[in-house]
Amino acid sequence: MSDWVHALPVGWMAVVVLGGTYLAAAGIYSLVMALAKGERARAFKAVSPGLLPPLGIIFGLFVAFLAAQVWSDLDRAGAAVNHEASALRAVVILSSAFPGEPETRLRSLITRQIEDARDVEWPAMASHRASIVVIPTPLAEAIRTAMSLSSTGEGQVAAQREILAALESALDARRQRILVSQASVNSVKWAALIVQAAVTLLAIAMVHCDNRLSAGLALGLFSTAVAVCILLLTAHDRPFTGELAVRPDALLQVMPDGR
């Protein structure tokens, strides 16, 4: 599915998907009715109505197959963001074990990391440009700062160990959300779904070719169902793209200075 479609608000996306589906159905209707004359009409009517349920079931299976992937990607995206937020929150809380400059330094780095995620990484993930190759500077500096902390007493030793573990966890969660941001339903799956829908619409038009009103109603009903399914998949296809995308709200809630 085209990038510009995914970037549309849901309302306009619905207009595009519904319009495109109805246009395709109208084209199939016009073609079949124009060809349904003489021998061709008898051939069309010979198509068994019993063919329609299997075609509809196959279309439904395609939708279920793609929906399973889409919901899985959404769940993974949300889990990665929540995991990252929890890990960064743990660093903020544990930094209080090192009052003064170390605490201020760690809190500042966490703030920078969250701001970079919101302002740089989220737009990049939306356009599939984000990469896991480069470690974000604030997290790298936070790890170096945590490793260089002077620990006195068992409490600070334990806090330092937990801070490092939390930073590593945040880095891994960031890696996971970037990987998920690159997930989408590929063109082969979209093509298979659309071809199956078109074949089903064609069969409906053939079966009802002797009654234009009946054919139009049947095509209208099924094309509406097709459009709704495609709209639902398109709106959620890319976890970090579009109006319904996963947002950095969980990260912003744990920002030390509350911005």
* pLDDT value for 135: 87
Kindly give, in sequence order, each residue whose CB lies less than 8 Å from that of residue 8, ignoring residues fewer than 6 positions away: 16, 242, 243
* pLDDT value for 175: 95
* pLDDT value for 92: 94
Range of the structural domain that residue 87 is part of: 3-253
Residue 128 main-chain phi, psi, to 5 deg: 60, 35
Q: Is residue 183 part of a domain?
A: yes
Whether residue 243 is predicted with pLDDT greater than 70 in this model: the reply is yes
Residue 238 main-chain phi, psi, to 5 deg: -110, 115
* pLDDT value for 64: 96
pLDDT tens digits along 155-212 = 899 999 999 999 999 999 999 999 999 988 899 999 999 999 999 999 999 999 988 9
Kindly give, in sequence order, each residue whose CB lies less than 8 Å from that of residue 117, ignoring residues fewer than 6 positions away: 136, 174, 248, 251
Domain count for the chain, please give it: 1
Q: Is residue 233 part of a domain?
A: yes
- From 59, 77, 251, 253, select the one nearest 179 (Cα to Cα): 77
Element (H, E) at 218: helix 212-236
108's tokens: 């500042």
Would you call 19 exposed, middle or buried from its count of C-beta atoms within 10 A (0-12, 13-18, 19+)? exposed
- Three-state DSSP class for 211? coil
Neighbours of 118 (CB within 10 A): 17
Q: Is residue 109 part of a domain?
A: yes
Distance CA 91, CA 86 (A): 9
pLDDT tens digits along 19-73 = 999 999 999 999 999 998 888 888 888 888 899 999 999 999 999 999 999 999 9
pLDDT > 90 in the chain, percent: 77
Q: Is residue 258 part of a domain?
A: no
* pLDDT value for 258: 47
Q: What is the mean pLDDT of the chain?
A: 92
pLDDT tens digits along 130-163 = 888 888 999 999 999 999 988 888 889 999 999 9
For the residues 226-253, what does the mean pLDDT come to? 93
Predicted model pTM: 0.85
Confidence of residue 1 (pLDDT cuts 50, 70, 90): low
Confidence of residue 216 (pLDDT cuts 50, 70, 90): very high
107's tokens: 């809190």
Q: Is residue 128 part of a domain?
A: yes
Confidence of residue 259 (pLDDT cuts 50, 70, 90): very low
DSSP letter string, 159-177 = HHHHHHHHHHHHHHHHHHH
